[in-house]
Amino acid sequence: MRRRIGIDIDGVIANTQPVIIEELNKHFAKNYTLQDFVNFDPLEKYGISRQELHRFIMDRELVLIESAMPMPGAIESINKLIYDYQINIISARTPVFYQNTINWFARYNISFDNIVLTGDHDKRSYSKAACVELFIEDNLRNAVQISSIGIPVYLFDATYNQGELPQLVHRKFTWEEIITDINKDTNLY
């Protein structure tokens, strides 16, 4: 039986941060770039609350899904992993966008075994139900939650997920590094 890996979509497989920045810039008539997001607080720069930012993103979820390009190395890496591991896509995307998400994966020929859109950032119960043995995530809070139930997490590095990491959360900078580390250890981690 293949070992089981859980993988988030946005910020791990789909490069949505540039699309979010572009949408915010259009709405607020700003000119920020991805490089501006290093130690950058979008709430302060755009003058909005966390709830307003969340609502803004949710209102544009379909634009983010359809406009995002794959993260560098994601397609090749996932399509290699699928031969030896069961790939469980577990995302906080809203379930109503399931078919749009499936279409995006098909457009870029990205393989997977299962896909779940939770509509919620707490992915613990879904990870347990899928018997996930390793999770690849970009949200630090989600990574901490998932690791709290004993699942190691590879945290895909981003400007928005800096901070101290618990024992089972390991920062990774590229898909190449993730593949190397998975292949390095026959125990998966």
CATH match of 3-15+69-184 with 3.50.50.60: no
**How do the domains of the chain map onto residue ranges?**
3-15+69-184, 17-67
Residue-wise pLDDT for 14-71, tens only, equals 999 899 889 999 989 999 888 777 666 777 788 888 888 888 888 999 999 999 999 9
Tens digits of residue pLDDT in 82-112: 999 999 999 999 999 999 999 999 999 999 9
CA 183 to the chain's CA centroid: 21
Position 44 scores a pLDDT of 79
Residues 74 and 78: their CA atoms lie apart, in Å, by: 6
How far apart are the C-alpha atoms of 38 and 168, rounded to whole Å?
A: 25
Q: Which one has a higher pLDDT value, 17 or 155?
A: 155
